[in-house]
Amino acid sequence: MKSFISWSGGKDASLSFYRAIKDEDVEAVCLLNMVSEDGKRSRTHGISSDLLKAQAEAMAIPIFQRKTSWDGYETEFIKMLSEFEQKEIQSGVFGDIDLDEHREWVERVCGKAEIEPIFPLWQCGREDLLLDFIRSGFKAVVVAVKTDMLSSDWLGRKIDESFIADLKKISSVDLCGEAGEYHTFVYDGPIFKKSVDFSIGEKIPDNKYCFLEVLPGKN
């Protein structure tokens, strides 16, 4: 079954992609990524669109990026799905874990385009997901934090077992960041043909978040 991957550049999208092609009857044919109106950054994680393109190149898979405002997000997403349906893409893979309102939204918009949604991570244990991510060989760093829950010191942390141990000490934070406590950038793993070259820039405060500038290419 031909599928697109709902792509943020982060750990949940990567693990759902990996599980879908490993455990489901899925042929991943492209990535779908929603970006800001100026086309410069991912609408959800704040990752530069050029870096997302570098991920796609490292995976040897096409990426479709759609510019949108938050207000126009749903409309543009449905338009993109309708175009996929015309290309005989029958399903989409999503990295949601257990937020019912997120799943309901996905099922509703996919239904309008006659696309079947697939949720490889749904209702899996948080620590189990992180350990599977790490032990499968993925590599990622934290690139955004919600500053009322995590300090900017977490930016740049690698997703490894010490990360899990430290995060478990903060009882108010979801281990997988499902409520937006943190976001990640994945640069290597079993879905990649090669590692993504990148360099670290400044920490940039922005409203309730602080973002780590991550640039394509090595210093």
In CATH, the architecture of 2-118 is 3-Layer(aba) Sandwich (3.40)
Q: CA-CA distance, 1 to 24, in Å (whole number)?
A: 9
* Joined tokens for residue 93: 């893979």
Q: Which residues contact 145 (CB under 8 A, 6 or more apart)?
A: 151, 152, 154, 155, 181, 182, 209, 210
- Looking up tokens 């070259």 gives 197
- In this prediction, residue 96 carries a pLDDT of 95
Name the strands in the sheet holding 209-216, side by side, starting at the edge strand that comes first in the sequence. Answer: 182-188, 139-146, 209-216, 198-206
- In this prediction, residue 219 carries a pLDDT of 55
- Looking up tokens 């077992």 gives 161
- In this prediction, residue 160 carries a pLDDT of 97
User: pLDDT category, 42, cuts 50, 70, 90?
Assistant: confident
Q: What are phi and psi of 113, to 5 degrees?
A: -105, 10
Give residue-wise pLDDT tens across range 146-164: 999 999 999 999 999 999 9
- Looking up tokens 């990148």 gives 198
The superfamily in CATH containing domain 137-216 is putative n-type atp pyrophosphatase, domain 2 (3.90.1490.10)
- In this prediction, residue 65 carries a pLDDT of 93
Give residue-wise pLDDT tens across range 64-88: 999 988 899 999 999 999 999 888 9
Q: Where are the domains of the chain?
A: 2-118, 137-216
Q: Once rounded to an integer, what is the mean pLDDT over residues 21-35? A: 91
What pTM was computed for the model? 0.94
Asked whether the predicted pLDDT for residue 172 surpasses 70, the reply is yes
Is residue 6 within 8 A of residue 43, CB to CB? The reply is no
Nearest to 14 by CA among 143, 134, 166: 134
Is residue 33 within 8 A of residue 208, CB to CB? The reply is no
Q: CA 190, 30, 120 angle in degrees (round to 5)? A: 60
